[in-house]
Amino acid sequence: MDFKLSEDQIMLQDTIRRIAQEQFAPRAAEIDSTERFPWENFELLRDNGLLGVNVEEEYGGAGAGQLALLLVLEETARACGSTSVILTNQGLSSEPLMLAGSEEQKKKWLYRLATGECPGAMAITEPNAGSDVAGMRTTATKTKGGWLLNGSKIFITQAGVAGITCVICYTDKSKGNKGMSMFVLEKDAKGMIIGKPEHKMGIRGSDTREISFEECFVPDEQMVGPEGSGFKTLMTTFNFSRPNIAAQALGIAQGALDAAIAYAKERSQFGKPLASFQGMQWMIAEMALGVETARTIVYRAGAMIDTEPKHPDIPKICSMAKWYASDVAMKVTTDAVQIFGGYGYTREYPVERMMRDAKITQIYEGTNQVQRIIVSNWMLK
Protein backbone atom coordinates (compact mmCIF):
# COMPACT_ATOMS: atom_id res chain seq x y z
CA MET A 1 0.00 0.00 0.00
CA ASP A 2 1.63 3.21 -1.20
CA PHE A 3 0.77 6.14 1.06
CA LYS A 4 3.52 8.57 0.18
CA LEU A 5 2.17 12.05 0.86
CA SER A 6 1.40 14.21 -2.16
CA GLU A 7 2.55 17.82 -2.49
CA ASP A 8 -0.96 18.98 -1.57
CA GLN A 9 -1.00 16.78 1.52
CA ILE A 10 2.41 18.02 2.63
CA MET A 11 1.24 21.61 2.14
CA LEU A 12 -1.89 20.88 4.18
CA GLN A 13 0.20 19.25 6.91
CA ASP A 14 2.53 22.25 7.08
CA THR A 15 -0.41 24.66 7.22
CA ILE A 16 -2.25 22.94 10.05
CA ARG A 17 1.01 22.40 11.95
CA ARG A 18 1.66 26.14 11.88
CA ILE A 19 -1.90 26.97 12.95
CA ALA A 20 -1.82 24.37 15.72
CA GLN A 21 1.52 25.43 17.16
CA GLU A 22 0.82 29.16 16.91
CA GLN A 23 -2.86 29.22 17.88
CA PHE A 24 -3.91 25.99 19.59
CA ALA A 25 -0.88 25.10 21.72
CA PRO A 26 -0.74 28.40 23.68
CA ARG A 27 -4.40 28.01 24.71
CA ALA A 28 -4.39 24.28 25.46
CA ALA A 29 -3.64 24.49 29.20
CA GLU A 30 -6.23 27.21 29.79
CA ILE A 31 -8.91 25.29 27.87
CA ASP A 32 -8.13 22.19 29.93
CA SER A 33 -8.22 24.00 33.28
CA THR A 34 -11.44 25.93 32.59
CA GLU A 35 -13.18 22.99 30.86
CA ARG A 36 -14.66 25.30 28.23
CA PHE A 37 -15.50 24.49 24.62
CA PRO A 38 -12.86 26.31 22.48
CA TRP A 39 -15.13 28.22 20.12
CA GLU A 40 -12.19 30.31 18.86
CA ASN A 41 -10.43 27.13 17.74
CA PHE A 42 -13.62 25.84 16.13
CA GLU A 43 -13.79 29.09 14.17
CA LEU A 44 -10.14 28.79 13.10
CA LEU A 45 -10.76 25.28 11.82
CA ARG A 46 -13.90 26.49 10.06
CA ASP A 47 -12.29 29.56 8.50
CA ASN A 48 -9.45 27.43 7.13
CA GLY A 49 -11.85 24.92 5.57
CA LEU A 50 -10.68 22.06 7.81
CA LEU A 51 -13.96 20.81 9.28
CA GLY A 52 -14.97 19.04 6.09
CA VAL A 53 -11.59 18.33 4.58
CA ASN A 54 -12.67 14.78 3.61
CA VAL A 55 -16.18 15.72 2.44
CA GLU A 56 -16.88 16.11 -1.27
CA GLU A 57 -16.75 19.67 -2.56
CA GLU A 58 -20.37 19.66 -3.72
CA TYR A 59 -21.40 19.26 -0.07
CA GLY A 60 -19.19 22.05 1.28
CA GLY A 61 -15.99 20.12 1.90
CA ALA A 62 -12.50 20.19 0.43
CA GLY A 63 -12.71 16.75 -1.16
CA ALA A 64 -9.17 16.00 0.00
CA GLY A 65 -9.87 12.50 1.36
CA GLN A 66 -9.48 10.53 4.55
CA LEU A 67 -5.69 10.67 4.77
CA ALA A 68 -5.85 14.46 4.59
CA LEU A 69 -8.24 14.48 7.54
CA LEU A 70 -5.86 12.23 9.51
CA LEU A 71 -3.00 14.67 8.88
CA VAL A 72 -5.11 17.56 10.17
CA LEU A 73 -6.12 15.53 13.22
CA GLU A 74 -2.58 14.45 14.03
CA GLU A 75 -1.18 17.98 13.97
CA THR A 76 -4.12 19.40 15.94
CA ALA A 77 -3.91 16.72 18.65
CA ARG A 78 -0.15 17.24 18.85
CA ALA A 79 -0.92 20.73 20.16
CA CYS A 80 -4.31 20.40 21.89
CA GLY A 81 -6.24 17.19 22.49
CA SER A 82 -9.48 19.01 23.28
CA THR A 83 -9.43 20.86 19.97
CA SER A 84 -8.80 17.65 18.05
CA VAL A 85 -12.11 16.30 19.42
CA ILE A 86 -13.89 18.92 17.32
CA LEU A 87 -12.48 17.24 14.23
CA THR A 88 -13.11 13.65 15.31
CA ASN A 89 -16.69 14.46 16.22
CA GLN A 90 -17.39 16.49 13.11
CA GLY A 91 -16.21 13.48 11.13
CA LEU A 92 -18.27 11.03 13.20
CA SER A 93 -21.50 13.01 12.80
CA SER A 94 -20.90 13.61 9.08
CA GLU A 95 -20.13 10.01 8.15
CA PRO A 96 -23.68 8.57 8.37
CA LEU A 97 -24.91 11.32 6.05
CA MET A 98 -22.03 10.67 3.65
CA LEU A 99 -22.75 6.93 3.66
CA ALA A 100 -26.54 6.72 3.73
CA GLY A 101 -27.98 10.22 3.45
CA SER A 102 -30.21 11.23 0.56
CA GLU A 103 -29.13 13.98 -1.81
CA GLU A 104 -31.47 16.37 -0.03
CA GLN A 105 -30.12 15.41 3.40
CA LYS A 106 -26.53 15.89 2.27
CA LYS A 107 -27.27 19.34 0.88
CA LYS A 108 -29.21 20.34 3.99
CA TRP A 109 -27.18 18.85 6.86
CA LEU A 110 -23.88 17.48 5.58
CA TYR A 111 -23.18 20.85 3.95
CA ARG A 112 -23.68 22.64 7.26
CA LEU A 113 -21.32 20.27 9.07
CA ALA A 114 -18.62 20.41 6.38
CA THR A 115 -18.64 24.20 6.15
CA GLY A 116 -18.58 24.57 9.92
CA GLU A 117 -21.90 26.34 10.20
CA CYS A 118 -22.32 24.38 13.42
CA PRO A 119 -20.71 21.54 15.40
CA GLY A 120 -22.25 18.08 15.07
CA ALA A 121 -22.89 15.25 17.53
CA MET A 122 -23.55 11.52 17.35
CA ALA A 123 -25.81 9.99 20.02
CA ILE A 124 -25.06 6.27 20.51
CA THR A 125 -24.06 5.33 24.07
CA GLU A 126 -26.69 4.70 26.76
CA PRO A 127 -26.50 3.87 30.48
CA ASN A 128 -26.86 0.15 29.67
CA ALA A 129 -25.41 0.14 26.16
CA GLY A 130 -21.75 1.03 25.62
CA SER A 131 -19.81 -1.54 23.63
CA ASP A 132 -23.06 -3.53 23.40
CA VAL A 133 -24.88 -1.24 20.98
CA ALA A 134 -27.71 -3.76 20.64
CA GLY A 135 -28.47 -3.26 24.35
CA MET A 136 -29.82 0.24 23.77
CA ARG A 137 -33.36 1.10 24.90
CA THR A 138 -34.09 4.33 23.06
CA THR A 139 -37.00 3.81 20.69
CA ALA A 140 -38.79 5.63 17.89
CA THR A 141 -42.50 4.88 17.48
CA LYS A 142 -44.26 5.62 14.20
CA THR A 143 -46.80 8.41 14.25
CA LYS A 144 -48.45 10.56 11.64
CA GLY A 145 -45.78 12.21 9.46
CA GLY A 146 -42.85 10.98 11.52
CA TRP A 147 -41.61 9.30 14.68
CA LEU A 148 -41.69 9.86 18.44
CA LEU A 149 -38.33 9.28 20.16
CA ASN A 150 -38.15 8.23 23.81
CA GLY A 151 -35.07 7.29 25.83
CA SER A 152 -31.71 8.71 26.82
CA LYS A 153 -28.11 8.81 25.65
CA ILE A 154 -25.02 9.48 27.79
CA PHE A 155 -21.46 10.71 27.22
CA ILE A 156 -22.48 12.47 24.00
CA THR A 157 -19.62 14.59 22.74
CA GLN A 158 -20.57 18.15 21.70
CA ALA A 159 -24.18 17.59 22.79
CA GLY A 160 -24.35 21.05 24.36
CA VAL A 161 -22.97 22.92 21.35
CA ALA A 162 -24.17 20.82 18.41
CA GLY A 163 -26.55 22.25 15.83
CA ILE A 164 -27.07 18.81 14.27
CA THR A 165 -27.22 15.47 16.11
CA CYS A 166 -27.40 12.00 14.59
CA VAL A 167 -29.29 9.52 16.79
CA ILE A 168 -29.54 5.73 16.54
CA CYS A 169 -32.44 3.91 18.16
CA TYR A 170 -34.83 1.01 17.73
CA THR A 171 -37.77 1.41 15.38
CA ASP A 172 -38.64 -2.29 15.73
CA LYS A 173 -36.90 -4.06 18.61
CA SER A 174 -38.33 -7.45 17.60
CA LYS A 175 -35.94 -7.44 14.62
CA GLY A 176 -32.78 -7.02 16.70
CA ASN A 177 -29.97 -5.21 14.88
CA LYS A 178 -32.13 -5.01 11.77
CA GLY A 179 -34.69 -3.02 13.71
CA MET A 180 -32.37 -0.06 14.36
CA SER A 181 -32.69 3.20 12.44
CA MET A 182 -30.72 6.44 12.26
CA PHE A 183 -32.22 9.92 12.52
CA VAL A 184 -30.80 13.43 12.25
CA LEU A 185 -32.15 16.06 14.66
CA GLU A 186 -31.83 19.84 14.79
CA LYS A 187 -30.77 21.45 18.06
CA ASP A 188 -34.22 22.98 18.67
CA ALA A 189 -36.10 19.67 18.32
CA LYS A 190 -39.01 19.70 20.76
CA GLY A 191 -38.65 16.96 23.35
CA MET A 192 -34.85 16.68 23.06
CA ILE A 193 -33.41 17.67 26.44
CA ILE A 194 -29.70 18.42 26.90
CA GLY A 195 -28.24 17.60 30.31
CA LYS A 196 -25.46 19.15 32.37
CA PRO A 197 -21.82 18.94 31.23
CA GLU A 198 -19.71 16.04 32.44
CA HIS A 199 -16.44 16.76 34.28
CA LYS A 200 -13.87 14.44 32.75
CA MET A 201 -10.34 13.21 33.38
CA GLY A 202 -9.09 14.43 30.01
CA ILE A 203 -10.17 16.23 26.81
CA ARG A 204 -11.78 18.66 29.23
CA GLY A 205 -12.42 21.25 26.53
CA SER A 206 -14.82 18.92 24.75
CA ASP A 207 -18.48 19.30 25.63
CA THR A 208 -19.88 15.99 26.92
CA ARG A 209 -23.47 15.61 28.14
CA GLU A 210 -26.54 13.40 28.46
CA ILE A 211 -29.38 13.74 25.95
CA SER A 212 -32.94 12.70 26.84
CA PHE A 213 -35.85 12.25 24.47
CA GLU A 214 -39.40 12.71 25.72
CA GLU A 215 -41.97 12.22 22.96
CA CYS A 216 -39.50 13.97 20.65
CA PHE A 217 -41.11 14.29 17.20
CA VAL A 218 -38.87 13.66 14.19
CA PRO A 219 -40.30 14.03 10.66
CA ASP A 220 -40.04 11.08 8.25
CA GLU A 221 -37.60 12.95 6.03
CA GLN A 222 -35.07 13.05 8.88
CA MET A 223 -34.52 9.30 8.88
CA VAL A 224 -31.05 8.58 7.41
CA GLY A 225 -31.26 5.63 5.04
CA PRO A 226 -34.11 3.10 4.97
CA GLU A 227 -35.86 1.99 8.15
CA GLY A 228 -33.86 -0.78 9.80
CA SER A 229 -30.52 0.20 8.23
CA GLY A 230 -29.19 2.14 11.23
CA PHE A 231 -26.96 -0.59 12.68
CA LYS A 232 -25.31 -1.27 9.33
CA THR A 233 -24.76 2.46 8.79
CA LEU A 234 -23.27 2.80 12.28
CA MET A 235 -20.86 -0.12 11.89
CA THR A 236 -19.69 1.20 8.51
CA THR A 237 -19.31 4.66 10.05
CA PHE A 238 -16.99 3.20 12.69
CA ASN A 239 -14.83 1.63 9.98
CA PHE A 240 -14.15 5.11 8.64
CA SER A 241 -14.13 7.04 11.93
CA ARG A 242 -11.81 4.81 14.00
CA PRO A 243 -8.74 5.96 12.04
CA ASN A 244 -9.66 9.48 13.18
CA ILE A 245 -9.25 8.40 16.81
CA ALA A 246 -6.02 6.66 15.83
CA ALA A 247 -4.71 9.91 14.32
CA GLN A 248 -5.79 11.80 17.43
CA ALA A 249 -3.86 9.33 19.59
CA LEU A 250 -0.85 9.56 17.27
CA GLY A 251 -0.81 13.34 17.55
CA ILE A 252 -1.00 13.26 21.36
CA ALA A 253 1.87 10.75 21.45
CA GLN A 254 3.98 12.87 19.10
CA GLY A 255 3.36 15.97 21.21
CA ALA A 256 4.46 14.12 24.35
CA LEU A 257 7.57 12.79 22.60
CA ASP A 258 8.47 16.30 21.42
CA ALA A 259 8.15 17.63 24.96
CA ALA A 260 10.14 14.75 26.47
CA ILE A 261 13.04 15.18 24.03
CA ALA A 262 13.23 18.92 24.65
CA TYR A 263 13.16 18.42 28.42
CA ALA A 264 15.77 15.64 28.37
CA LYS A 265 18.16 17.96 26.52
CA GLU A 266 17.61 20.89 28.88
CA ARG A 267 17.39 19.18 32.27
CA SER A 268 20.65 18.28 34.02
CA GLN A 269 21.23 15.73 36.78
CA PHE A 270 24.56 14.64 38.25
CA GLY A 271 26.20 17.37 36.19
CA LYS A 272 25.00 16.01 32.84
CA PRO A 273 21.93 16.52 30.60
CA LEU A 274 19.35 13.77 31.06
CA ALA A 275 19.71 12.99 27.37
CA SER A 276 23.33 11.88 27.92
CA PHE A 277 22.32 8.85 30.02
CA GLN A 278 21.91 5.59 28.12
CA GLY A 279 18.79 4.61 30.03
CA MET A 280 17.13 7.86 28.96
CA GLN A 281 18.29 7.42 25.37
CA TRP A 282 16.78 3.93 25.20
CA MET A 283 13.54 5.18 26.70
CA ILE A 284 13.24 7.92 24.08
CA ALA A 285 14.16 5.48 21.31
CA GLU A 286 11.36 3.12 22.37
CA MET A 287 8.89 6.01 22.47
CA ALA A 288 9.97 7.06 18.96
CA LEU A 289 9.59 3.49 17.69
CA GLY A 290 6.03 3.36 18.97
CA VAL A 291 5.12 6.69 17.38
CA GLU A 292 6.63 5.82 14.00
CA THR A 293 5.03 2.38 13.79
CA ALA A 294 1.68 3.85 14.82
CA ARG A 295 2.01 6.49 12.11
CA THR A 296 2.58 3.77 9.52
CA ILE A 297 -0.64 1.91 10.23
CA VAL A 298 -2.68 5.11 10.72
CA TYR A 299 -1.60 6.49 7.35
CA ARG A 300 -2.15 3.09 5.76
CA ALA A 301 -5.74 3.07 7.01
CA GLY A 302 -6.36 6.52 5.55
CA ALA A 303 -4.77 5.62 2.22
CA MET A 304 -6.81 2.40 2.00
CA ILE A 305 -10.07 4.28 2.58
CA ASP A 306 -9.12 6.81 -0.12
CA THR A 307 -7.99 4.33 -2.76
CA GLU A 308 -10.01 1.18 -2.00
CA PRO A 309 -13.05 2.22 0.09
CA LYS A 310 -14.73 -1.18 -0.37
CA HIS A 311 -11.64 -3.27 0.45
CA PRO A 312 -12.63 -6.14 2.78
CA ASP A 313 -9.60 -5.50 5.02
CA ILE A 314 -10.77 -2.02 6.03
CA PRO A 315 -12.55 -3.09 9.26
CA LYS A 316 -9.46 -5.03 10.37
CA ILE A 317 -6.89 -2.36 9.49
CA CYS A 318 -8.94 0.48 10.99
CA SER A 319 -9.50 -1.45 14.22
CA MET A 320 -5.79 -2.27 14.39
CA ALA A 321 -4.89 1.38 13.82
CA LYS A 322 -7.19 2.64 16.57
CA TRP A 323 -6.11 -0.10 19.01
CA TYR A 324 -2.38 0.20 18.39
CA ALA A 325 -2.10 3.99 18.16
CA SER A 326 -4.12 4.54 21.34
CA ASP A 327 -2.04 2.02 23.29
CA VAL A 328 1.10 3.76 22.00
CA ALA A 329 -0.30 7.13 23.07
CA MET A 330 -0.94 5.88 26.60
CA LYS A 331 2.54 4.39 26.92
CA VAL A 332 4.38 7.34 25.37
CA THR A 333 2.57 9.94 27.46
CA THR A 334 3.13 7.92 30.65
CA ASP A 335 6.84 7.61 29.80
CA ALA A 336 6.97 11.34 29.09
CA VAL A 337 5.63 12.06 32.59
CA GLN A 338 8.32 9.73 33.98
CA ILE A 339 11.05 11.60 32.08
CA PHE A 340 9.83 14.89 33.52
CA GLY A 341 9.89 13.39 37.01
CA GLY A 342 8.11 15.46 39.64
CA TYR A 343 7.60 18.29 37.17
CA GLY A 344 5.70 15.89 34.92
CA TYR A 345 3.15 15.40 37.66
CA THR A 346 2.35 19.12 37.78
CA ARG A 347 0.31 21.27 35.43
CA GLU A 348 3.32 23.49 34.83
CA TYR A 349 4.23 21.19 31.92
CA PRO A 350 1.89 19.73 29.26
CA VAL A 351 2.70 16.03 29.58
CA GLU A 352 0.30 15.33 32.47
CA ARG A 353 -2.52 16.80 30.36
CA MET A 354 -1.43 14.70 27.39
CA MET A 355 -1.48 11.55 29.52
CA ARG A 356 -5.02 12.33 30.66
CA ASP A 357 -6.11 13.12 27.11
CA ALA A 358 -4.56 9.91 25.75
CA LYS A 359 -6.62 7.63 27.99
CA ILE A 360 -9.94 8.24 26.27
CA THR A 361 -8.53 7.12 22.92
CA GLN A 362 -8.38 3.59 24.34
CA ILE A 363 -12.06 3.78 25.27
CA TYR A 364 -14.31 5.67 22.89
CA GLU A 365 -15.50 4.51 19.47
CA GLY A 366 -15.04 0.96 20.68
CA THR A 367 -12.77 0.01 23.57
CA ASN A 368 -9.48 -1.63 22.68
CA GLN A 369 -10.89 -4.89 24.02
CA VAL A 370 -13.65 -4.61 21.40
CA GLN A 371 -11.02 -3.92 18.73
CA ARG A 372 -9.32 -7.19 19.68
CA ILE A 373 -12.62 -9.00 19.19
CA ILE A 374 -13.12 -7.38 15.78
CA VAL A 375 -9.61 -8.28 14.62
CA SER A 376 -9.74 -11.85 15.93
CA ASN A 377 -13.16 -12.43 14.36
CA TRP A 378 -11.83 -11.18 11.02
CA MET A 379 -8.76 -13.39 11.23
CA LEU A 380 -10.73 -16.50 12.20
CA LYS A 381 -13.77 -16.14 9.95
What does each C-alpha distance from 261 to 162, 217, 254 come to in angstroms?
Answer: 38, 55, 11
**Whether 7 is catalytic:** no
Please name the helix (run of DSSP H) or strand (run of DSSP E) that holds residue 156, with its range, or none.
strand 146-157
Whether 187 and 162 have beta carbons less than 8 Å apart is answered as: yes
Q: How many CB atoms lie within 10 A of CB 346?
A: 10
Residues 6+ apart with CB under 8 A from 294: 246, 249, 250, 253, 321, 324, 325, 328, 329
* Residue 19: half-sphere exposure toward Cβ, Cα within 13 Å: 25
Eight-state DSSP code of residue 6: P
Residues 6+ apart with CB under 8 A from 154: 125, 126, 127, 210
Beta-bridge partners for 216? 149
What does each C-alpha distance from 239 to 53, 219, 318, 334, 381 come to in angstroms?
Answer: 18, 28, 6, 28, 18
Q: Name the active-site residue from 75, 227, 352, 365.
A: 365
226 vs 252: CA distance, rounded Å: 38
Residues 6+ apart with CB under 8 A from 46: 115, 116
Taking every pair of Cα atoms in the chain, the longest distance, rounded to a whole number of angstroms, is 79
Whether 123 and 183 have beta carbons less than 8 Å apart is answered as: no
β-strands 120-123, 164-170 pairing: parallel
> Which residues are known catalytic residues?
365
